[in-house]
Amino acid sequence: MRLLLPVVLSSLTLVAQDAYEEDFHVFTDAPRLLLTKQRLRLLQRERDRQSMRWEQFDSLVAGGAPMPEQGLAWALYYQVAKNQPAGHKAVEWAVDDKHTDARELALIFDWCGPLMTKSQADKVAAKLEKSLGAGVSGDIAKQNGRALAAIALADRLPDQGEAVLKGIVRDWWRAGIVKNIRAIPREQIYLLYEIMHAVRDNVKIDMRESAHEYFSTLATDHLVGHYPSPFEAPENEYRVPIYVRDGEPDLKDAVFSRAAELAMVAFDTNAAESQYLQGWLMQDRFLMRGALGAVYEFMWANPYQPGLSYFQMPLVFHDSVSGHVFARSSWDEDATWIGFFDGTLQLFRGGKIETLRRGASIPPIHIGDAVMMSGSDPEFKFRADGEALFVLGLTPDAWYDVEIDDEELTERKTDSGGTLVISLPPGLDLGARIKKRVK
């Protein structure tokens, strides 16, 4: 018994610590969702000094412009300007039977609660409670609505939102999404960050801790996953995130790509990656002025946050876990760019995107500080300048025999995306052969 006692006590201590650290009850005061006291003070300061972002947001809302997320826009305007007519419009929007989106309803319920009559609050709460019964399956958009609804409704729930939030964090996130986190759709990263902000602000749990490796490179991966040339829209210029389809860029994707980056910086302002991202974001020509983007531009941007010049970032990015490779000849907007992501190989040059068919071979291309090429079992010759050689599109997590002139045969393994990275000696004309090992 003496030998077992310390183990038992240790186990009880861990359980007690876990219970203390994992308290999912919401006891914070409204507004609870996204608008922390610090952020709300910042937005009100932006209003007082009539900043560009406030003037654009104000001109749209006060001018009666139709907004894609009309209720959200009115509710944010009420919180920042204390404009009660805007707040009442948001409440009327939320009460309308045709509006059922849990995310937008939760934000209005949380931000405009003081303006609601009992019957209005009961009606909106009833709509939100329906979303809570959906369970912990589904995509980020569905769980975003459930998380925000549970936090907004906490005072009306017998457990202060504990059951819903515990299910989202422990079952849906840690036991589900984290196991295949690299498969998160790029266009849903913003919604993920809304969940992360809301959970951390209200129950003091940082969801990044379950996927540290992913989040350690996400900001950089997101930044370099844009084509060099911007897209000129009537309202402003957009940086275009990677996409795989024919036709022009989807500007909604561009809006939420930038919104995600703004939310990333707000989540962790001290990280070096965030400071490069801030330098990337704080250029007035890319300030979102459209009816969809102006809301997020105003809500998340912090022009007082210092940033670093992204021109100092490496020209080649490789994430061995995802297999993503992005490289560019420079940070200028006329740069040649190559991207390998999620099994897709693209080349951007001369302002055009070329998506290569799966398994297509390309000869060695010197770009940035690397040589890029693709093809199964390739054999090639080129002059090395001390770069790293990236062979793209091979079999993921597979062993290959690598033979370079005047060097011994070596065995190397591809990463999870099918990328093989080889260091090269400088200043030599090389021949190389790469062949998949046969078991």
**For residue 344, what is the domain's CATH number?**
2.60.40
The verdict on 301 and 322 lying in the same domain is: no
- Tell me which of 311, 344, 363 is where a domain ends: 311
Domain-located, residue 11 = no
The verdict on 349 and 303 lying in the same domain is: no
Read off the amino acid at residue 383.
Answer: R
The verdict on 294 and 369 lying in the same domain is: no
Alpha-carbon distance of 174 to 23, in angstroms, equals 16
Task: List all residues 6 or more positions away from 119 whose beta carbon is below 8 Å from its beta carbon.
Answer: none
Average pLDDT of 341-351? Answer: 91
Confidence of residue 385 (pLDDT cuts 50, 70, 90): low
Domain-located, residue 3 = no
The verdict on 286 and 409 lying in the same domain is: no
Q: How many domains does the chain have?
A: 2
Confidence of residue 15 (pLDDT cuts 50, 70, 90): very low
| Residue in the block written with tokens 């957009």 | 238
Q: Identify which of 241, 247, 431, 405 has the alpha carbon closest to the alpha carbon of residue 339.
A: 241
Which tops the pLDDT comparison, 171 or 3?
171
Please name the helix (run of DSSP H) or strand (run of DSSP E) that holds residue 427, with its range, or none: strand 426-436
Domain-located, residue 371 = yes
Q: Which domain holds residue 53?
A: 22-311
- Per-residue model confidence (pLDDT) at position 416: 87
Domain-located, residue 4 = no
- Tell me which of 283, 311, 339 is where a domain ends: 311
pLDDT of 340 over the 90 cut: yes
- Per-residue model confidence (pLDDT) at position 182: 87
Neighbours of 218 (CB within 10 A): 22
Domain-located, residue 5 = no
The verdict on 380 and 303 lying in the same domain is: no
For residue 304, the SS3 value is coil
Q: What is the CATH number of the domain that holds 119?
A: 1.50.10.100
- Per-residue model confidence (pLDDT) at position 297: 98
The verdict on 92 and 112 lying in the same domain is: yes
Alpha-carbon distance of 242 to 249, in angstroms, equals 9
Domain-located, residue 379 = yes
Q: Which token pair is 236?
A: 């402003």
Domain-located, residue 8 = no
Task: List all residues 6 or more positions away from 198 whose beta carbon is below 8 Å from its beta carbon.
Answer: 32, 33, 34, 147, 148, 151
Average pLDDT of 309-322? Answer: 92
- Per-residue model confidence (pLDDT) at position 379: 73
What separation in angstroms does the CA of 286 have from each of 43, 92, 293, 426?
19, 33, 11, 40
Domain-located, residue 81 = yes
- Per-residue model confidence (pLDDT) at position 9: 36
Yes or no: say if 278 and 46 are a contact pair by the CB < 8 Å rule: no
- Per-residue model confidence (pLDDT) at position 389: 85
Average pLDDT of 223-246? Answer: 96
Yes or no: say if 295 and 72 are a contact pair by the CB < 8 Å rule: yes
The verdict on 287 and 370 lying in the same domain is: no
- Tell me which of 311, 333, 367 is where a domain ends: 311
